[in-house]
């Protein structure tokens, strides 16, 4: 869910292991921002789907992250505005958009091993992986984190929309380790994740991963 720490935790874990990260929320936000600037109503599923079919995108690696560019541009700050945040849950519930994102997100493996972060990665994008985690925190802690970050947004409303949508709703996927990090610092969560990763790798007869940073 929102403010569960998934972004900061996945970035730290990837840094520890020398892997790339993929922030899939940023991909949905980029489409929401593109709709806003192209004056496409985000509540009009057909128009959003049509825009998504024809926008000019590319995947690139920059600073350890896989990024989705639109017209060669990564809208880093624009996708974090309150307008983009309000628009994103609408575009994210459209079936055609989710299908497009799924194909794009699966293409990311062309860059090698990844820490991919998002609400449906274990359940829908890479259901075949054994290495899944579902991060959560109490509603009070999540509200506190959002306010501390200066974000004024009805996070509860967005989580509700994300959880109740018909296509790939937010939920822990089968086989995911569920971690409540309400009272953990990021490094503690990453250490728990690395330990679990290595338990699962051992079960798959793979060598343990060692931190590089
Ligand atoms: O993680 P975030 O707040 O940047 O995500 C923005 C929105 O995108 C969120 O409201 C739900 C949607 N999203 C999704 O539906 N599936 C994903 N894999 C990632 C994000």
If you measure from the C-alpha of residue 192 to the centroid of ligand 1, how many angstroms do you get, rounded to a whole number?
A: 24
Q: For the residues of 128-159, what is the DSSP string, one character each? A: T-S--EEEE--HHHHHHHHHHTT--S-HHHHH
Instruction: Note the pLDDT tens digit of each residue in 9-41.
Output: 999 999 999 999 999 999 999 999 999 999 999
Check if 162 has its Cβ closer than 6 Å to any atom of ligand 1.
yes
Among protein residues, the one with the nearest Cα to ligand 1's atom 1 is 25
What pLDDT does residue 19 have?
97
Check if 75 has its Cβ closer than 6 Å to any atom of ligand 1.
no
Residue of 2, 4, 118 with the most ligand 1 atoms within 8 Å of its CB, for mutation: 118
Residues 3-11 have a mean pLDDT of 95
What pLDDT does residue 78 have?
97
Q: Which of 169, 35, 201, 134 is nearest to 210 (CA)?
A: 201
C-alpha dist (Å) from residue 201 to 19, 20, 21, 194:
16, 19, 20, 10
| Rounded distance between C-alpha atoms, residue 138 and residue 133, angstroms | 17
Could you give the percent of the chain with pLDDT greater than 70? Answer: 99
| 162: pLDDT strictly greater than 80 | no
Instruction: Report residue 155's pLDDT band, with 50, 70 and 90 as the boundaries.
Output: confident
| Rounded distance between C-alpha atoms, residue 207 and residue 213, angstroms | 18
Check if 165 has its Cβ closer than 6 Å to any atom of ligand 1.
no
What pLDDT does residue 153 have?
67
Q: For the residues of 94-134, what is the DSSP string, one character each? A: -HHHHHHHHHHHHHGGGG-SEEEESTTIIIIISTT-S--EE
Atom of ligand 1 nearest to the CA of 117: 18
**Neighbouring C-beta atoms of residue 112, cutoff 10 Å:** 10
Please tell me which of 24-33, 118-127, 160-169, 170-179 the model is most confident about, judged by mean pLDDT: 24-33
Q: Which of 154, 27, 21, 162 is nearest to 90 (CA)?
A: 162
Residues 76-82 have a mean pLDDT of 95
- 30 or 155: whose pLDDT is higher? 30
| 149: pLDDT strictly greater than 90 | no
| 154: pLDDT strictly greater than 80 | no
pTM for the whole structure: 0.92
What pLDDT does residue 160 have?
81
- Mean pLDDT score across all residues of the chain: 94
Q: Which residues contact 71 (CB under 8 A, 6 or more apart)?
A: 56
| Rounded distance between C-alpha atoms, residue 201 and residue 30, angstroms | 34
Residues 137-145 have a mean pLDDT of 91
Check if 29 has its Cβ closer than 6 Å to any atom of ligand 1.
yes
| 168: pLDDT strictly greater than 80 | no
Coil vs helix vs strand at 160: helix
What pLDDT does residue 2 have?
87
Check if 158 has its Cβ closer than 6 Å to any atom of ligand 1.
yes
């Amino acid at each position: 869910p929102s403010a569960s720490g998934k972004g900061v935790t996945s970035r730290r874990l990837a840094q520890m292991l020398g892997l790339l990260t993929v922030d899939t929320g940023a991909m949905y936000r980029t489409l929401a921002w593109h709709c806003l600037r192209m004056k496409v109503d985000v509540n009009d599923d057909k128009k959003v789907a049509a825009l998504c079919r024809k926008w000019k995108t590319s995947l690139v690696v920059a600073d350890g992250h896989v990024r989705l560019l639109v017209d060669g541009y990564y809208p880093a700050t624009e996708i974090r505005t309150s307008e983009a945040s309000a628009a994103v849950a609408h575009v994210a519930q459209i079936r055609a958009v989710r299908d497009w994102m799924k194909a794009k997100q699966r293409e990311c493996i062309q860059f090698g091993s990844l820490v991919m972060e998002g609400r449906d990665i274990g359940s829908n994008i890479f259901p075949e992986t054994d290495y899944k985690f579902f991060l959560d925190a109490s509603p009070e802690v999540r509200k506190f984190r959002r306010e501390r970050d200066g974000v004024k947004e009805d996070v509860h409303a967005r989580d509700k929309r994300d959880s109740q949508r018909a296509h790939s709703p937010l939920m822990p996927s089968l086989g995911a380790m569920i971690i409540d990090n309400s009272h953990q610092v990021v490094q503690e969560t990453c250490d728990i994740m690395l330990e679990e990763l290595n338990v699962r790798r051992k079960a798959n007869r793979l060598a343990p991963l060692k931190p590089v940073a």
